[in-house]
Structure 1
């Protein structure tokens, strides 16, 4: 079994759990979103920002240009058959412009984060042009 480079502090685990267990109402017009970053000095994964986005396009403005991060979204939508669903979506943002050492730090901790979160859908993006397509990838 591989060992993670980083750890997730108790406070961050509590934020993850609360976010994961908060139901999304069908009438909601926003996408609750959390961004997690690694503190390189402490080698811990911490909640950096909580947002309510109106659309996936807004995520592009929130993502760091040259640093990876992990993004969680509670995305609710109605399926073609009329059923409402709200999967927990995890996104590993790994921009091509990030430095190699920080990319390795995030890559070495991604499995730990995925395991802790327990997402319904996990996606990886390395280019801002991928973000508008997320809606289609999730809803297929």
Structure 2
């Protein structure tokens, strides 16, 4: 049985993660990352600005895992706007097992380098919506409190 290895994050990619985290935007922004299987590195694949979660869903492969860093525009009931920073870990059900395992073993490394503390696993891309994200976020907050 082959040993699972953790994908590395280059200094250039780490700098891109930091820039993404601290960017100023008035709308939802996503950074899609993938693992280069040959180099065993996590690399930016695409940045999507001023998007909806439906646009994001359409930009993701349905049979391959991806990491999605998300700065999500959320308007609270009192009218205040916040931009929660989170990681969506997309592992579609049709993905190859070895790919899922590679992405899972590298997740902690990405969390550390990106400074993200909220991670939501997404197994079915059809679920990705504002309602799903908000319900998942609230459920996680209730677990903490």
Q: Which runs of 5+ in 1 are unaligned?
A: none
**Counterpart in 1 of 2:59?**
62
Q: With structure 1 as the length reference, what TM-score do the two structures score?
A: 0.86
* TM-aligned CA deviation for residue 135 of structure 1: 4.1
**In structure 2, C-alpha distance between the alignment counterparts of 1:12 and 1:82, rounded to whole Å:** 35
Q: Which runs of 5+ in 2 are unaligned?
A: 140-145
Match of 2:46 among 46, 49, 58: 49
1:83-102 equivalences in 2 (<5 Å): 83-102=80-99
Aligned residues: 134
Cα deviations across residues 69-116 of structure 1 (Å, max 9, x unaligned)? 100111122222333211112100001111111111101101111111
Relative to its length, the structure with more helix (as a share) is 2
Q: With structure 2 as the length reference, what TM-score do the two structures score?
A: 0.83
* TM-aligned CA deviation for residue 65 of structure 1: 1.6
Cα deviations across residues 20-51 of structure 1 (Å, max 9, x unaligned)? 01133xxx3x4111100000011000001111
**Counterpart in 2 of 1:13?**
14
Root mean square deviation, CA, Å = 1.9
1:1-140 equivalences in 2 (<5 Å): 5-24=6-25, 28=26, 30-132=27-129, 133-138=132-137
**In structure 1, C-alpha distance between the alignment counterparts of 2:78 and 2:5, rounded to whole Å:** 41
* TM-aligned CA deviation for residue 15 of structure 1: 0.7
